[in-house]
Chain A
Amino acid sequence: MSITARDVRWSTAGRMIVDGISIEVPPGKTLGLLGPNGSGKSSFLRLLCKLRKLESGVVTLGGTDIAELTQRQIARRAAFVEQQVHTEVEVTVADVVQLGRTPHRGALAAWTNVDEDVVTQALTRVGMADMRDRLWRTLSGGERQRAQIARALAQTPSELLLDEPTNHLDIQHQLEILSLVSRLPVTAIIALHDLNLAAMFCETLVVLQSGRVVAHGSPEQVLTPMLLRDVFGVEAHVQRSPHHGKMLVHFLPQNLTAPHVIEAA
C-alpha cells in the first residue's frame, strides 16, 4: 500500500475535526476525497504528510509509519498542495517550482542538471514552460495554482496530496490538471468539490462527513442519489455517461432536503 491511514483522529480548539478515518490507497491509484465544507478533508490531508500531529491512529507511507520518518524523508516522497497560498516576496514562477527540489538538496548542494530537467518537465506538464520568469504576484489565481502543482511535481513524489487544486482554474486547465495527475504513475489523493470531475478522474472515492468516512468505493458504489441527498443535501440522478463511460451526476435542484448523518458501516 502506498498510503494507509488507520483510525486517525485529530482535534483542535476542543473540536474533533478528524474522527477515526481509515483508508488504504494502492500505489499509482487516484483517490477522490469528497465532502461538504468542514468535513475534515483539508485537515486529513495535512495529517497524511505530518503537517499536523496525530492524536491517535497511524499513517503509513510506503509501509513506514510516518511517526518514524523525518519531515524531509516525507517530503521526498509526498508532495502537498494547499488550496491557496500567498506571499509578499517577489518570486518568479521558476523560483516557486525550484522550491520543489528543496527536499532533495543538501544545504550546500549545487544546482544540478537533474534539478533543472525536473523543473522544466514540471513546468511543461502544467503548461507554463513559457512563463518561467513571470512574477508570482502578476499571476492569476489559476496560474498560481498550476505553479504550485508544478512545484509539487518537482518534488518527484510518489504520493501527491492535492487540496482542491482546481478551484480557480479555467475548465480547460481543470481537465488538463486532473487528467495529468490521474495519468501520472503517482499515488494521488485529491480533495474535490466537483463530483463529476471526481467521477471522471478518480478510481476510488471517499466521502467524509463530520470527520468520518461515510462512503468508500468506486464512483458507481459511492455516488448514489441517497448519499447525495444525505451528505450534500441535493437531489440528483446518477447514470453512466454514454460518452466517456464514467458516472455522471445530473443535479435536480428543485427539491432540497436537510441531510442526516449516516452511521459509518
Chain B
Amino acid sequence: MTARQLSTEAIHVAVRGGWGFRAALALAGLLALILAVGMAMSIGEVPTPLAATYQAIAHKLFGTDTLLSPIELGILWDYRLTRALVAACCGGALAVSGVILQALLRNPLAEPYVLGISAGASTGAVGVMILGLGAGLLTVAGGAFIGAVCAFVVVSLLAAGAGGSSERVILAGVAGSQLFNAATSYIVTTSANAEQARGVMFWLLGSLSGVRWPDVYLAAPIAIAGFVICLLHARALDAFTFGNDAAASLGIDVRRVRLLLFGLTALMTATMVGMVGSIGFVGLVIPHAVRFLVGPLHARLLPFSLLGGALFMVIADIVSRIIIPQQILPIGVVTALFGAPAFAFILYRSRRQSL
C-alpha cells in the first residue's frame, strides 16, 4: 500500500475505533447545539444584548424578574427561540430521513425528497395559497402535508408496479416529482399574479418566519419519536449494507422494515416540509459528513446525524436572518449555498480515496 493509502486507512481506524472519540464528539456536538440555539436567540434584526437571552430564559422558565419589555421578551422567546427549535427539529429530522433513505435505497445520492415528497408538498401548498383549495379550513402547512402524502402514495404505487427494486423506487420518485412539479408550475403560471408567485417562491425555498410555539409542539415530538424508532432499527439498517437479500438472510423482515421506515421518513419529511417549506441539501449532505466522522454503522450514524442536522439548520437560520439587512433570505438558499460546496468536497475526497 502507498503511504497515502496507509494514512487514509489510519485516519479511518482512528476516528472509528475509539468510543472515547465518539463520546467526546457527542458531548461537543450537544454543547455546540445548545450554544447555537442561544446564539439564534441573541442574534437578529433587532439588536439585543447577550444578557437579554439569559434573562428571557430565566424569566420564562423560573419566573425571575426581568427588565426586558414585553416586545423584547416576545421577540426572544416567541420568535427567535421557536425558530431555532423548529430549525433544529427540521434539520435533525431531514438528516435522519436522509440516512434511512441512503441505507434502504443503497444510493449515496438519496435524500428525503427522492420520494417526491417535496414536489407534492409544493403542489399542496400552492393549491391552498393560490387556488384556495380547502375553502379556508386548510392552512398552507396542512395542504402541503396532504400534497406530500399524496405524492408519496403515487410514487409508492409507481415503484411497486415497476417491481419495487431500489432503482425503480428512485425512478418512480423522479417521475412523481416531475409530475407534481409540473402541477405546481401550472397552478402558479395560470392563476397567480406576480405578487403571489413571489410569495410561493419564498415558501418553496423554505421559510421559518411563521413559526411559533404550537409548531414546536408539533415538530419536536415527531422528530424525536421518528428518530427513536429509526434508532431501534439501527441493526436492521446495517443489515441492508449488501442489499435486500443479504438483509433477509440475516433475519430482517425486509418488507415490514422497508414499509415502516419509508413511511416514517415520509411522515417526518412531509411534516417538516409542510411547516417550513422545502429546505434542500440537509438530508443529502449531513449523512455523508457524519459518516466521514464516525463511520457507517447506524447506531452511531443516526444520533450524530440528528445532532449534525440540527446544528446545521440552526446556524443556517441565523445566517439567513442577518446576511441581508432588513430582509430574510429563504433558508433553502442558505443551505444550498453551504451544502453544495460541502457536498462537492465530500465527493472529491471520496473519489480520491477509491483510487
CB of A118, distance to nearest CB on chain B (Å)? 14
> Please, how many angstroms separate the alpha-carbon atoms of A91 and B240 in the complex?
12
A7 within 8 A of B: no
B252, A102: Cβ atoms under 8 Å?
A: yes
In the complex, 28 of the A-B residue pairs with CB atoms within 8 angstroms, ordered by the A residue number, are A46-B245, A51-B249, A70-B253, A71-B248, A71-B254, A72-B252, A72-B253, A74-B251, A79-B249, A85-B242, A85-B243, A87-B243, A90-B12, A90-B291, A91-B296, A92-B12, A95-B241, A99-B239, A99-B241, A99-B250, A102-B236, A102-B251, A103-B251, A107-B232, A107-B234, A133-B9, A133-B13, A137-B354
> Please, how many angstroms separate the alpha-carbon atoms of A71 and B255 in the complex?
11
CB contacts (< 8 Å) of B13 on chain A: these are 133
Residue of B nearest to A70 (CB): B253
B60 within 8 A of A: no
Contacts A95-B241, A107-B235 known; list 19 others, CB within 8 Å. Answer: A46-B245, A51-B249, A70-B251, A71-B253, A73-B251, A82-B246, A86-B242, A87-B106, A90-B295, A92-B12, A92-B16, A95-B238, A99-B250, A102-B238, A102-B239, A105-B235, A133-B13, A135-B9, A155-B250
> Please, how many angstroms separate the alpha-carbon atoms of A108 and B231 in the complex?
9
B336 within 8 A of A: no
A76 within 8 A of B: yes
CB of A109, distance to nearest CB on chain B (Å)? 9
> Please, how many angstroms separate the alpha-carbon atoms of A100 and B242 in the complex?
12
Which of B106, B108, B251 has a CB less than 8 Å from the CB of A75? B251
Q: Is the interface of B mostly helix, strand, loop or mixed?
A: helix
> Please, how many angstroms separate the alpha-carbon atoms of A99 and B297 in the complex?
10
A51, B354: Cβ atoms under 8 Å?
A: no
Residue of B nearest to A100 (CB): B250
Given contacts A85-B246, A107-B232, A133-B13, contact A91 B251 (CB under 8 A): no
CB of A74, distance to nearest CB on chain B (Å)? 7
CB contacts (< 8 Å) of B258 on chain A: these are none
CB contacts (< 8 Å) of B295 on chain A: these are 90
B242, A103: Cβ atoms under 8 Å?
A: no
Which of A50, A79, A86, A135 has a CB less than 8 Å from the CB of B12? A135
B233 within 8 A of A: yes
Interface size on B, residues (CB 8 A): 32
> Please, how many angstroms separate the alpha-carbon atoms of A135 and B10 in the complex?
11
A49 within 8 A of B: yes
- The 6 lowest CB-CB distance pairs between A and B, nearest first, are A75-B251, A103-B251, A72-B251, A85-B242, A80-B249, A102-B250
CB contacts (< 8 Å) of B235 on chain A: these are 102, 105, 107
> Please, how many angstroms separate the alpha-carbon atoms of A257 and B234 in the complex?
54
What total count of A-B pairs have CB within 8 Å? 83
Residue of B nearest to A132 (CB): B13
A88 within 8 A of B: yes
User: Counting chain A CB atoms within 10 Å of each CB, which of B233, B250, B296 scores highest?
Assistant: B250
Given contacts A107-B232, A107-B235, contact A89 B251 (CB under 8 A): no
Residues in chain B within 8 A of chain A (CB atoms):
5, 9, 12-13, 16-17, 106, 108, 232-236, 238-239, 241-243, 245-246, 248-254, 291, 295-297, 354
CB of B183, distance to nearest CB on chain A (Å)? 34
> Please, how many angstroms separate the alpha-carbon atoms of A50 and B247 in the complex?
12
> Please, how many angstroms separate the alpha-carbon atoms of A46 and B16 in the complex?
34
- Beta-carbon contacts under 8 Å, A206-250 to B: none
Residue of B nearest to A105 (CB): B235
User: Counting chain A CB atoms within 10 Å of each CB, which of B12, B235, B242 scores highest?
Assistant: B242
A82, B245: Cβ atoms under 8 Å?
A: yes
> Please, how many angstroms separate the alpha-carbon atoms of A71 and B297 in the complex?
22
CB contacts (< 8 Å) of B16 on chain A: these are 92
> Please, how many angstroms separate the alpha-carbon atoms of A99 and B354 in the complex?
23
CB contacts (< 8 Å) of A72 on chain B: these are 251-253
Residue of A nearest to B17 (CB): A133
CB contacts (< 8 Å) of A89 on chain B: these are 241, 296
> Please, how many angstroms separate the alpha-carbon atoms of A3 and B282 in the complex?
49
> Please, how many angstroms separate the alpha-carbon atoms of A215 and B249 in the complex?
28
CB of A144, distance to nearest CB on chain B (Å)? 10
CB contacts (< 8 Å) of B106 on chain A: these are 87-88
Residue of A nearest to B350 (CB): A90
| Chain A 19-35: CB-based contact to B (< 8 A → 1; otherwise 0) | 00000000000000000
CB contacts (< 8 Å) of B250 on chain A: these are 75, 99-100, 102-103, 155
> Please, how many angstroms separate the alpha-carbon atoms of A121 and B110 in the complex?
37
A91, B253: Cβ atoms under 8 Å?
A: no
> Please, how many angstroms separate the alpha-carbon atoms of A105 and B238 in the complex?
13
B251, A99: Cβ atoms under 8 Å?
A: no
Residue of B nearest to A161 (CB): B249
B245, A51: Cβ atoms under 8 Å?
A: yes
Residue of A nearest to B250 (CB): A102
> Please, how many angstroms separate the alpha-carbon atoms of A141 and B62 in the complex?
64
Given contacts A88-B108, A107-B235, A133-B13, contact A95 B297 (CB under 8 A): yes
> Please, how many angstroms separate the alpha-carbon atoms of A135 and B233 in the complex?
24
A51, B252: Cβ atoms under 8 Å?
A: no
A108, B108: Cβ atoms under 8 Å?
A: no
> Please, how many angstroms separate the alpha-carbon atoms of A51 and B77 in the complex?
54
> Please, how many angstroms separate the alpha-carbon atoms of A12 and B194 in the complex?
55
> Please, how many angstroms separate the alpha-carbon atoms of A92 and B252 in the complex?
21
> Please, how many angstroms separate the alpha-carbon atoms of A91 and B9 in the complex?
12
B233, A107: Cβ atoms under 8 Å?
A: yes
> Please, how many angstroms separate the alpha-carbon atoms of A79 and B246 in the complex?
10
| Chain A 37-54: CB-based contact to B (< 8 A → 1; otherwise 0) | 000000000100111000
Residue of A nearest to B107 (CB): A88
CB of B348, distance to nearest CB on chain A (Å)? 16
